[in-house]
Amino acid sequence: MRITIIGGGKVGLSLARSLISENHEITLVDTDEQVIDRAGNSLDIICYAGNGASFAALKDLEIESCDLVIAVTGSDELNLLACHAAHKLGARHTIARVRGPEYTEQLYQLKRDLGLSMFINPEKAAAEEIERILRFPSASRVELFARGHVELVSCRLPAGNILDNERLCDLSSKFGIKVLICAVDRGGELFIPGGSFVLHAGDELYLTGSPKEMAEAFRRMGLQTAPVKSVMITGGGAITYYLASLLEERRLRVKIVERDREVASSLAEKLPDTVVICADATDHDVLLEEGLEKNDAFVSLTGLDEGNILSALNARQHEVSKIIAKVNSDNLTKLARTLGIETVISPKAVVTNQILRYVRALEDSSHEDNILSLYKILDGRAEVLEFAAEGTIPNLTDIPLSRLKIRRNVLIACIVRGGEIIVPRGNDMIRAGDGVLVVSAGGTVLNLIDILENS
């Protein structure tokens, strides 16, 4: 596919790298010539210095022959204008990043009026992910599939846990655990495990199942923790606003520390049930004075990755039960986890997941079983994909799973049939109308048939 990305910031470059790896022809547009030069030297893409919202620039780029235009500059208005102009000139599909809370109520109207195919609010999506994790504090990740009927949850297996040195095939009979462990990260090595796989303390586990069974599995594993009732948040950006709004709805006690007086005043006005403190969140003594150690959770959401990591480490030192840090840098994300910060949120990764899902669906739009959801795990080394098997698929549907020749490093993690959640076993079958959750570490999967060998 021919894809034009407008905006060469962190998100634009991350998208370019991901889409290049899937063999798309990428053009990157930015007004900053230094950004364009750096991108051209490091990536195999076409680079163009110019205003992506300009009709003249878009005509110069032959945007009418473009399959997809993605606008991810730092300006919501510029993104909307660029997509509108590209649509008017004949681009097939357009995606705009729109972050401002002031646009939230009118996004669907804007989508229709401006000819947008899709809009993305990474800050709102990141806030929703954090809120889900705070509902399930033992987890480091919580992602929803099948309209919330299936959860993907990750957690670290602690030393001395009852599952240490246990085989996966024994978990149901010995411990009554009815969720599926679909991926394991062991010291940086990725496993898509079979039934004979043996768990070890320190493994990062990815589990799928219904919310009810997931909660029961964590209880049986001894990982259940007390519910979060109070949260301290540092930083007063868009994620903080969206998150605090969600937590207010749940009647949690929320305190925000933001050093910019104008931003703090605005948050205090918009969030009547939240305590907003105007102070320097990087001053750890200030956080202690504001009761850091008395909170059930600490969420660091300032604009500086390094500061978020240091604040999270400070909270860990003071034994706050649940700690979450926003980190956009891939290298710093790995460092944070090495230092023991299990839950790291990246709005950049949210954007990449959503756009890759859309691109995969466009690539194979002739099939009825297109991707409904896509979520990258293990630093992008594996994917969890949700498909809808709308019709009969030769060599796949109505055949026991034990008889299917499934590709190496591909696992059917869950089958959703009506309101029933099926953790699949050998005798189960995929039927027309099912939702199917697939975990893949073995190359690009565009549709369900791709999970089979020689598909």
* C-alpha dist (Å) from residue 390 to 37, 200, 219, 367: 46, 39, 36, 9
DSSP result, 283-335: -HHHHHHTTGGGSSEEEE--S-HHHHHHHHHHHHHTT-SEEEEE---HHHHHH
| Tokens 């510029």, residue located | 78
SS3 68: strand
Token pair listed for 246: 């969600």
Give the pLDDT confidence score for residue 110 in this predicted structure: 82
Q: Does domain 2-120 have CATH number 3.40.50.720?
A: yes
pLDDT band at residue 412, thresholds of 50, 70 and 90?
A: very high
User: How many other C-beta atoms lie within 10 A of the C-beta of residue 285?
Assistant: 10
> What does the pLDDT average to over 277-304?
95
Average pLDDT score over the chain: 92
Give the pLDDT confidence score for residue 220 in this predicted structure: 92
Report which secondary-structure segment, H or E, holds 220: helix 211-220
pLDDT, tens digit, 9 for 90 and up, residues 44-95: 999 999 999 999 999 999 999 999 999 999 999 999 999 999 999 999 999 9
- How many Å apart are CA 354 and CA 339, to the nearest integer? 29
Domains 2-120 and 230-345 share a fold: yes
- How many Å apart are CA 257 and CA 298, to the nearest integer? 11
Give the pLDDT confidence score for residue 455 in this predicted structure: 65
DSSP result, 105-141: GGHHHHHHHHT-SEEE-HHHHHHHHHHHHHHSTT-SE
We find that the CATH architecture of domain 230-345 is: 3-Layer(aba) Sandwich (3.40)
> What does the pLDDT average to over 126-130?
93
Spans of all domains in the chain: 2-120, 126-220, 230-345, 350-451
In angstroms, how far is CA 49 from the centroid of its own chain?
Answer: 30
Listed residue (73, 63, 10, 74) closest to 39, CA to CA? 10
pLDDT, tens digit, 9 for 90 and up, residues 324-374: 999 988 889 889 988 989 899 998 888 888 898 888 878 765 554 567 888
Give the pLDDT confidence score for residue 170 in this predicted structure: 95
Which superfamily does 350-451 belong to? Regulator of K+ conductance, C-terminal domain (3.30.70.1450)
Give the pLDDT confidence score for residue 368 in this predicted structure: 47
Which superfamily does 126-220 belong to? Regulator of K+ conductance, C-terminal domain (3.30.70.1450)
| Cα 392–Cα 394–Cα 397 angle in degrees, nearest 5 | 55
**More confident position, 312 or 391:** 312
Q: Is 67 exposed, middle or buried (0-12, 13-18, 19+ CB in 10 A)?
A: middle
Q: Is the pLDDT of residue 111 over 50?
A: yes
